[in-house]
Amino acid sequence: MNPDTPANPAPHAPAPRGAVLAVGLGAGIDLALTLALLARGWTQGGAHIAGFMAGTLAALLIAAWAGRGGPAPTAVFSGAARSGWRLVGFALALGLRGGALASLLAWGLPPWLAVTMGVALAWGLRAFGEQYFFTARFASAPLEVRALRAAGALALAVLLLHLATLKVFPLLPEEAYYWNYAARPDFGYLDHPPMVAWLIALAEGLFGHGEAAIRMAALACGAVMMAFVWQLARRLVDRAAAGIAAALAVTLPYAFFLAGQLITPDAPLAAAWAAALYFLHRALVGGEARAWAGVGAALGIGMLSKYTIAILGPAALLFCLLDARARAWFLRPQPYGAVLLAALLFMPVVYWNYAHDWASFRFQGGGRFTEAARFSLHLMLQNILLVATPLPLLVLPLLFARRWTAQPTPAAGPDPEPAHAEPRNRLFVACFVFAPLAVFAWSALKHEPRLNWTGPIWLATLPLLGWAIVHAGALTRLWLGTALHRSAGPVVGLLLVAYSLVGYHLVLGIPGVPYPGAFARFMGWQAATAELRTVQARLLRETGAAPVVVGLDKYNTASQIAFYGAPAYAPPGQAALKATSLETFNGNALMFSYWDPPAGLAGRSLILVARERADLATDRLAPNFTALDEAIHPLALGNTGPGGNGRKIDEYYYRVGHGFRPGTGTR
């Protein structure tokens, strides 16, 4: 991520002797040891780590022996940087190998073939990385070429991480909840607009039911977001910087998880936000009247995704008030047409709210802030560092600098200042960063902010960040150039390592690393639901009527069971599970209260599933049933996915109640 690192290449140095031999023998040792360890009962996670490390050590020894007396390594990176990026490559290859192996097992390939293909992928990627970066050709290439190749490699790494784990990354309860939206298509929902439901329904219609199918929509949204960041950056900075900006758009934690890996309302929101920034820049700074149609479409789609995008309106108004040329738009029809277009696109949500006593508007307008007021600005700052890293914050001082680069000398050629440094462009970025940030900061003075709220704000800073990284050595503020030069690469490298190892651990498991009990919220539910399906079959035989599974929390348990209890997961001859949440037991069941009012389940047998055994105590449940089974059964949650280590994480519990009697609640 520091493509302008000074290089002292040997442009015509041949490839190290024995490189092909080292890779071939290393891969062979890796595969042989991995298969041998699996045959001795090792878990997939442990066997692949041991095999990969042994193969890597053998390859290094072979390459060192074969390269004695050969040319020195190409100096494209310093020794420490070269070692660091090779460690990143090792972690990335291991993470991709684990995800690909688990996915291949999930698709039904024989274990030996899945293992072989995983080993081949890991070693192929490592060899590709060596030839892509650690060569004289890369070291001697112009700055723009190096930056664009680095950006392309980063974007490719992110894409491969997504594709490798698309099917096997554990499904979050939030994703399962939004799938429940899609199973009941509508123009709106209590806690969010309908776009996420429409995207999931479209993806399932095209690809069928499953984690990979619904997450394809998130991947598509991430691609759209990246494309619009590239387009915005090209209006402000050179191609090299724009490439880095676009790659960072999908690499920073907010975008990686919530706008690419997981299907949540943030995925279409991020795409619409990036599109809105691009069209707003064309309209407000570029003076293009036709760009207002894009503004209206982006804002309308954004409002169908998540209400948060509405804060771009005050940011645009602020820019128009501060910029003399933009104030002319107050007297022209195009901005009002954009507002009308956005409102027309948003009308389905208005209609749903009208038909449901304005429930969603009331919920988002204050219904979620029911906790006692407390100062939480420090939590907002912590969340910013988690979702955006410090990198976007580092470049904000440039918005207030008169000049970004040192004055050029006659021999240096034309002024290297980018269009981004022009006052109107700096004002545009400042308005679309600080105005939304002020809204969230004001909220954080009294309410605890959510982790993801500020995530899309930082999209506006990425062109500036990309330029500052590429041209760090030319900045007038030497401290900033030094900070970016020293931090950008390590931050991006650590992110790739974290994404790779977290994915590997969640899919296969890393020996000796435990799973926190909280992971039971999203791991092991396919196996747990299969157990509940067996209970359902027994009750159906005994009572002649299918029971309903009820999660005793707000939505997490019911959502997971509903997703994995769907017909696509039911074995031949077994019925699908119906799962829901009831406000009778928890006081707030979100959309489940609309889908399954308690009165509609009167007299039914219920399989009650709870996080705590005490929640199933007789004295708490007896008023709502004519009879309760005596037994409270454990429901184990663990890493039971394809290739998983089978390790138990925690236990939920279930109990059967007969003759449900809706009441005012047990809590």
According to the model, what pLDDT value does residue 167 have?
93
Separation in Å, CA 613 to CA 492, 536, 608: 43, 20, 11
Q: Do 601 and 549 contact (CB within 8 A), yes or no? A: no
DSSP characters over 201-264: HHHHHHH-SSHHHHHHHHHHHHHHHHHHHHHHHHTTS-HHHHHHHHHHHHHSHIIIIIIIIS-S
d(CA 510, CA 53): 14
d(CA 268, CA 306): 8
Percentage of residues in the chain with pLDDT exceeding 90? 76
* Burial (Cβ within 10 Å: 0-12, 13-18, ≥19) of residue 574: middle
The predicted-structure confidence for 467-496, as pLDDT tens digits, reads as follows 999 988 888 777 888 888 889 999 999 999
Residue 385 has pLDDT above 50, yes or no: yes
Residue 116 has pLDDT above 50, yes or no: yes
Residue 667 has pLDDT above 60, yes or no: no
d(CA 182, CA 175): 11
Residue 112 has pLDDT above 50, yes or no: yes
Q: Do 8 and 30 contact (CB within 8 A), yes or no? A: no
According to the model, what pLDDT value does residue 408 have?
57
pTM (two decimals)? 0.92
d(CA 351, CA 233): 37
DSSP characters over 418-440: -GGGSHHHHHHHHHHHHHHHHHH
d(CA 577, CA 579): 6
Closest by CA position to 392, among listed 478, 488, 461, 494: 461
The predicted-structure confidence for 526-581, as pLDDT tens digits, reads as follows 999 999 999 999 999 998 899 999 999 999 999 999 999 999 998 888 889 999 99
Angle at 420 between CA 418 and CA 421, to 5 degrees: 75
Q: What does the block give as tokens for 614?
A: 């005490």
According to the model, what pLDDT value does residue 8 have?
44
Residues 6+ apart with CB under 8 A from 137: 11
According to the model, what pLDDT value does residue 200 have?
97
d(CA 221, CA 600): 38
d(CA 580, CA 604): 13
According to the model, what pLDDT value does residue 103 have?
96
Is the C-alpha dihedral spanning 508, 512, 518, 520 positive or negative? positive
DSSP type of residue 366: I
Separation in Å, CA 132 to CA 5, 15, 85, 125, 126: 16, 12, 12, 10, 10
According to the model, what pLDDT value does residue 367 have?
56
d(CA 515, CA 352): 41
Residue 67 has pLDDT above 80, yes or no: no
Q: What are phi and psi of 607, to 5 degrees?
A: -95, 110
- pLDDT averaged over every residue in the chain: 90
Percentage of residues in the chain with pLDDT exceeding 70? 91
What ranges do the domains of the chain cover? 19-160, 166-358+374-406+414-476, 520-660
Confidence band, pLDDT 50/70/90 cuts, at residue 663: confident
Mean pLDDT of 605-634: 95
d(CA 629, CA 651): 19
d(CA 646, CA 644): 5
According to the model, what pLDDT value does residue 482 have?
84
d(CA 162, CA 222): 11
Task: Say which amino acid occupies 146.
Answer: R
Confidence band, pLDDT 50/70/90 cuts, at residue 129: confident
Confidence band, pLDDT 50/70/90 cuts, at residue 18: low
Mean pLDDT of 200-219: 96
Q: Do 546 and 532 contact (CB within 8 A), yes or no? A: no
According to the model, what pLDDT value does residue 425 have?
94
According to the model, what pLDDT value does residue 371 have?
60
According to the model, what pLDDT value does residue 546 have?
92
According to the model, what pLDDT value does residue 417 have?
79
According to the model, what pLDDT value does residue 114 have?
95
Mean pLDDT of 436-462: 93
According to the model, what pLDDT value does residue 7 have?
44
Residues 6+ apart with CB under 8 A from 290: none
Q: What are phi and psi of 654, to 5 degrees?
A: -140, 155
Mean pLDDT of 625-644: 95
Q: Strand, helix or coil at 604?
A: coil
